Amino acid sequence: MELESIISAISKKKPETADAELDEDVLSINCRKCKLAPDFRSPSCLKCIIQHISQQGNAERIRLRTSKDIEIFGPAAETLCELAVFYNSTALSSHKEEGRSCADCNNSGSKIMDAVWTGFPDPNFDTVRGRLANFRPSDNKCLSCIQKTYRALDQAEHGVNNLKKRISIETARTGGV
């Protein structure tokens, strides 16, 4: 077992899926370490790309480094960068929970946002809203957290819906090319 995986297991952090670096307008993601075949149309690959964009910053071109590099550019790269903005904003807006009770709560902001993005590329907004609707906050701190989480969900859903509309219009205009 590698030292990184031992440290990861102890700290309960997810192991890094791939290294990435932003050089001018090109985000290069090293996919050689990934156990999956790089396919930017697959949800797991898209999620990984979006996580790297949110960490490194927007790029005009995204290069997936494999034995045969794949490059994403133009409207596809723009769309991925926009999705990264929504992903990043919901991750940040899941606010830092205070205390053990928040971290243990299944309806904490970070756990709710994780549940939303598990459905990527079609986030689980309705499912998560149903989960929140059944939750009864125990105090004002919980109530405030739930309200912030609802606002973050609304913003993310609005942004994703606008992005879907724009993609549909662009696809119709270009004939899917």
CB 62 within 8 A of CB 73: yes
Percentage of the chain exceeding pLDDT 70 = 79
Is the Cα dihedral 23, 156, 98, 11 positive or negative?
negative
Distance of alpha carbon 138 from alpha carbon 97, whole angstroms: 15
Q: Kindly report the number of other CB atoms within 10 A of residue 75's CB atom.
A: 13
pLDDT digits (tens, 9 = 90+) for 38-68: 787 787 888 889 889 988 999 999 999 988 8
Kindly indicate the confidence band of residue 13, based on its pLDDT and cuts at 50, 70 and 90.
very low
Strands 61-65 and 70-73, bridge-based pairing: antiparallel
Q: What is the DSSP string of 89-146?
A: HHHHHT-PPPHHHHHH-TTSHHHHHHHHHTTTTS--HHHHHHHHHT---SSHHHHHHH
- Residue 15 CA to residue 32 CA, distance in Å, equals 15
- How would residue 15 be classed by pLDDT, with cut points 50, 70 and 90? very low
CA gap 31, 20 in Å, rounded: 9
- CA distances to 25, 58, 74, 122, 124 from 77, rounded to whole Å, are 11, 9, 5, 18, 23
Task: Give the per-residue pLDDT at 14.
Answer: 44
What are the residue ranges spanned by the domains of the chain? 16-87, 94-174
Q: Burial, 146: exposed, middle or buried (Cβ in 10 Å; 0-12, 13-18, 19+)?
A: buried
